[in-house]
Amino acid sequence: MANRIDRDEKIDLTPLLEVLANRFRPRDDQEAYELIVGACQEAQRLYGWVPPEAAQAIADHLGVTINRVYGLLTFYADFRTEPPGKHFLWLCHGAACYVMGSSRLIELLRDRHQLVDHGVSPDGELTLHVFNGCLGVCDLAPVIQVDHHEYWGRLTPERLEAAIEALKRGDRLEDADGTAG
Ligand code: FES
C-alpha cells in the first residue's frame, strides 16, 4: 500500500469489525488461536499495517490476550506494526543485483535516509524491503521496484539519490535523469 497513515490519524475499526464478525467465528480456544494470523492479515489489508487498536480489536473478538496477538505480529516479518511510508521501495539484493552494486544502494539508503530493511524513513516518505531473491529483471540490475509497479534500473548511488528526490517532488522519474528502467 502506498498511502501513509499518520500515527495520529484515528483508525476506523468498522470494516475490520465487520470482517471479524462475518468470517472469524471460532468455536473454541484452539480455533481462536489459529485465526489470529488470518485476522491480522485482514487488518493489514485494510489499513496497510496493523495499528494497536486493530490488534486489540482482534484480541477482544477472538478472546485471546493482546500479548498472543503481538507474539504473532512480531514473529512474522511480513506484518507491519508501524505505519508504512508513502512510497514502497523493494530493493533487489539477488545475485545479479549484488554483483552490480546493490550493497552500495543499501548503504546509501541507510546513511543518507536512515532507512533500513523493513524500516520507514524518518520523514515518513519511504518504506524499504530488501529482497534476497530475484525480481526477474536482471538486465536492469541493480534494480528497485517502486510502489509495486515501477522499476528503477541500472542504479548507482547518484541515480538513486536523484530518483528519490524526484519521487518526493512527485515528478515522473524520467524527468529526473532517466533513472526509470
Ligand atoms: S537478481 Fe535482481 S533482478 Fe535478478
Rounded distance, CA 91 to CA 126, Å? 12
Each domain of the chain, given as residue ranges in start order, spans 14-75, 87-169
Q: How far is the CA of 108 from the centre of ligand 1 (A)?
A: 19
Q: Tell me the whole-structure pTM to 2 decimals.
A: 0.70
Q: What is the rounded (10 degree) CA torsion for 94, 90, 123, 57?
A: -120
CA of 142 to the centre of ligand 1 (A): 7
CA of 103 to the centre of ligand 1 (A): 13
CATH numeric code, 14-75: 1.10.10
If you classify domain 87-169 with CATH, what class do you get?
alpha beta
Atom number of ligand 1 nearest to Cα 140:
3
The secondary element (H helix, E strand) that includes residue 2 is none
Long-range contacts of 58-66 (CB under 8 A, 24+ apart): 58/16, 58/20, 61/17, 61/20, 61/21, 61/24, 62/20, 62/24, 62/26, 62/32, 62/33, 62/35, 62/36, 63/26, 63/29, 63/32, 64/29, 64/32, 64/33, 64/36
Distance 91 CA to ligand 1 centre (A): 9
Q: Dihedral sign, CA of 15, 146, 101, 120?
A: negative
Question: End-to-end alpha-carbon separation of the chain, Å?
Answer: 21
**Residue-by-residue pLDDT tens, the chain, 181 positions:** 434 445 556 889 999 999 999 999 999 999 999 999 999 999 999 998 999 999 999 999 999 999 999 999 999 988 988 888 999 999 999 999 999 999 999 999 999 999 999 899 999 999 999 999 999 999 999 999 999 889 999 999 999 999 999 999 987 665 444 444 4
What is residue 148's predicted lDDT score, i.e. its pLDDT?
A: 87
Candidate from 97, 129, 130, 139 with most ligand 1 atoms within 8 A of CB, to mutate:
97
What lines the ligand 1 site, CB under 6 Å? 92, 94-97, 134-138, 141, 143
User: Ligand 1, atom 3: nearest CA belongs to which residue?
Assistant: 138
Query: Are residues 43 and 54 in contact, defined by beta-carbon separation less than 8 angstroms?
Result: yes
Neighbouring-strand partners of residue 48: none
From ligand 1's centre to the CA of 181, what distance in Å? 13
